[in-house]
A and B are shown apart, each in its own frame.
Chain A
Amino acid sequence: MNKTAPINLLPSQLVLKGKDKVLLEGLKKFVLIGFIILIAASLIIAGYLVYLSFRIRSSVGNEDVLKSEISSLQQTEQGLFLIKDRISRIKAVYAKESVDGQIATLTDFIEQVSGDFRISEIQISVQRVDLSVVFPSSSAFGLFYKSLIAADLYPDITLKTLSFNPSLGYIASFELSQK
C-alpha cells in the first residue's frame, strides 16, 4: 500500500509544532468551552429574567382583578371592620369587674333551693355577697345552710350572725365569696 504524505496548505511560518501547538490548542479549547458555557449561562439567566417578568406581569393582572373583586365587596369589608372594632370594645367592657356573675350565681341558687325562708337583705359587690335570710324554724335554717354548701357555688361561706327574734324567727347573715 502506498502511504501518501500529509499535505500542509498553511504557510510554513503558521504551522506550530511541539509545545506551542499543545499550548495553543489547549488555549483555544478552553476559550471555546468558556464561550459555550457563557452563552448557556446567559441564556439561562435571560430566560429566568423573562420568566420572572412574565410572572410579575401576570400577577399584576391578577392583582387588578382581585382589587376590583374586593371593591365590589366593600360593604362586607366595612362590616367586618366594624365587627372587629366593636368586638375589641366589647372585650374591653367584659374585662372590667362587675357583679353580673355574682347575680347569676345567687339567683340560680335561690331558684333551686327549696324550703321555708325569706331573704331580707342582699348586698352584692364584686368581692362578695352579703345575704340575710329569715327562717321560721331551725330546721329550715339547717336545710338552707346544707343546700348552700351542697350547691358548691361558693368556695368561701361564712355564717356571720345567727339570731332569734320571737316574732320573725331565726335571722342568719352569710358572707359568700366566689374567690
Chain B
Amino acid sequence: MKQIKLSGKSKLYLQALGLLALLVVLVGVVYKLAISQLPAQRVKFSEQIKKEETLRQKSEILKSLESAVLEQADLTSFAIPNKNSSFAVVSQLNKLAQENSVLITNLRIGTETKEANLSSSDLNFDVEGVSPSVLNFLQGIAGIAPITLTDKVQVNESLGVTRATVRLKAFWAEFPATLPAVSEAVSDLTPEEVEILSKIVNLTPPDFVYLEPQEPREKTDPF
C-alpha cells in the first residue's frame, strides 16, 4: 500500500479544516435537534397550560356558584320539569283559582306535542267568577311554575258572572342524559341567563309533600 506523505503545512491546514468540518456537522446536528424539538415542546407546553387554565377557570366558577347552584337548579327544574307537566299545571291552576275565588270548569288536557326537544300539551278550561277575580286569575297564570304560555283568552260577562275560556300550553323537556368531560370548560351564567333566572325565581313553585325519613320499626303482625 502506498503511503501519502503530507508536508507539515498541509497537516496544519488539514487539522484546521477538520475542525471546521466538525463545527459545521455539530451546528447541523444542533440546528436539526432545535428545529424538531423546540416547536414540538412549545406546542405541548402551550396546550398543557391551556388545559390547566381551563380547569382552573372551571374550578373557580364551580366554587363561586357552589352555594346557590342547587337551589337554582331546583327552581329551573320546577319551571321546565322533565316529565309531563300538565298535572302539575292543573294543580297550580286550582291553587290559583282558590286564591282568587274563581271556579275552574270544563278542564281538558290535550296530547303531547314534541318540537325541538321541548314537549308541550294544550290545556283548555273555563274560569267563572266576578270580573276582577277572573282578570287577576288570568294575570296570575304567568306567575306559576311549571311555565305556561296562554294562547287565547275569551271573556264574557252575563248576569254578574264573568266566564273566561282559556287555552294555554304547558311545557316540559327531558333532563340532559350525559355530563361533559371533566376537562371540558364551563362558562359562568351569561347576563341573559341571569335575567331569565331572576324571572324564574319569582314564579310560584308547586307544593310538594316532603316525607321525613323514619327510624326502622318492628312490625308486630306481618300479615
Contacts and interface: CB of A to CB of B under 8 A. Distances in A.
Q: Is the interface of B mostly helix, strand, loop or mixed?
A: helix
A24 B149 contact: no
B197 A45 contact: no
Contacts of B79: 86, 90
Interface string B43-82: 0110011011001101101110110011011001101100
A143 interface: no
Interface stretch (A72-80, A150-158, A170-178): A72-80
Interface in A23-50: 24, 27-28, 30-31, 34-35, 38, 41-42, 45, 48-49
B7 A13 contact: yes
A113 interface: no
Contacts of A89: 80, 117-118, 171, 173
Interface stretch (A1-9, A93-101, A159-167): A93-101
B150 interface: yes
A87 B58 CA distance: 20
Interface string A89-117: 11111101011100110110011000000
A125 B63 CA distance: 46
Contact of A56 (B44, B76, B152, B192): B44
A45 B61 CA distance: 38
Given A62-B52, A82-B77, A110 B135 contact: yes
Nearest to B48: A59
Contacts, number: 216
A125 B20 CA distance: 93
B73 A82 contact: yes
A84 B76 CA distance: 9
> In the complex, which range does the number of interface residues on chain A fall in?
35 or more
Interface in A51-67: 52-53, 55-56, 59-60, 62-63, 66-67
B92 to A, nearest CB: 15
B152 A125 contact: yes
Contacts of B183: 67
Interface string A12-26: 011010001000100
B12 A14 contact: yes
Interface stretch (B103-111, B121-129, B139-147, B208-216): B139-147
Interface of A: 11, 13-14, 16, 20, 24, 27-28, 30-31, 34-35, 38, 41-42, 45, 48-49, 52-53, 55-56, 59-60, 62-63, 66-67, 69-71, 73-87, 89-94, 96, 98-100, 103-104, 106-107, 110-111, 118-125
Interface of B: 7-9, 11-13, 16-17, 19-20, 23, 26-27, 30, 33-34, 37-38, 41-42, 44-45, 48-49, 51-52, 55-56, 58-59, 61-63, 65-66, 69-70, 72-73, 76-77, 79-80, 116-118, 131-132, 135-136, 138-139, 141-142, 147, 149-157, 162, 169, 171, 173, 175-176, 179-180, 182-183, 186, 189, 192-193, 196-197, 200
Given A67-B55, A74-B179, A78-B179, 9 more contacts: A13-B9, A62-B52, A63-B52, A76-B66, A89-B80, A89-B171, A98-B150, A100-B142, A100-B150
20 contacts: A14-B11, A16-B9, A49-B41, A52-B45, A59-B51, A62-B56, A69-B59, A78-B73, A80-B73, A82-B176, A84-B193, A87-B76, A89-B118, A94-B196, A99-B152, A100-B149, A103-B139, A104-B142, A107-B136, A107-B139
